[in-house]
């Protein structure tokens, strides 16, 4: 059985992918792409004050800056974690959904509002 290649991400890329994974699990922010295991992000969070709401979580705006950084999208697409369709649409691939960033509970906290 072949091992999956290790995908190296810098901290901003990892945070962005972790946020996309949360959005992909939220039916108010995403929908499946027909005939694939990919997920289309239909609603991106917007910052208010120093934070934003991502699914059920609150994230500091500085930790979500990759969501609007074209260089991050290029890198994630080159690594096969998202489709190369940004900014027209945002699609996280099955590979991106399955990738563990190790940040799943490191910079997000459950929202109290």
pLDDT by residue for the chain (113 residues), tens only, comes to 444 557 899 999 999 999 999 899 999 999 999 999 999 999 988 888 888 887 777 888 888 889 889 999 999 999 999 999 888 899 999 999 999 888 766 655 565 55
What are the φ/ψ torsions at residue 39 (nearest 5 degrees)?
-125, 130
Contact 67, 16 (CB under 8 A): yes
Q: What is the pLDDT of residue 109?
A: 57
Place of tokens 């960033």: 101
Q: What is the distance between the alpha carbons of residues 5 and 105, in angstroms, rounded to a whole number?
A: 24
Selection from 54, 35, 41 nearest residue 89 by Cα: 41
- Where are the alpha helices (H) located in the chain, listed in sequence order? 11-25, 70-78, 94-98
Contact 94, 50 (CB under 8 A): no
Q: What is the distance between the alpha carbons of residues 55 and 63, in angstroms, rounded to a whole number?
A: 15
Q: What is the pLDDT of residue 112?
A: 59
3 state DSSP class of 83: coil
The separation between CA 30 and the C-alpha centre of its own chain, rounded to angstroms, equals 11
Q: What is the pLDDT of residue 108?
A: 57
């Amino acid at each position: 059985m072949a091992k999956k290649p290790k995908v190296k991400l810098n901290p901003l890329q990892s945070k962005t992918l972790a946020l996309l994974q949360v959005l992909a699990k939220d039916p108010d922010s995403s929908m499946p792409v027909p005939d694939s295991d990919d997920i289309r992000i239909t609603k991106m969070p917007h910052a208010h004050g120093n934070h934003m709401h991502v699914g059920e979580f609150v994230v500091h705006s500085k930790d979500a800056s990759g969501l609007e950084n074209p260089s991050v999208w290029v890198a994630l697409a080159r690594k096969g974690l998202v489709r190369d369709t940004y900014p027209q649409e945002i699609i996280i691939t099955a590979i991106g959904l399955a990738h563990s960033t190790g940040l799943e509970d490191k910079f997000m906290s459950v929202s109290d509002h």
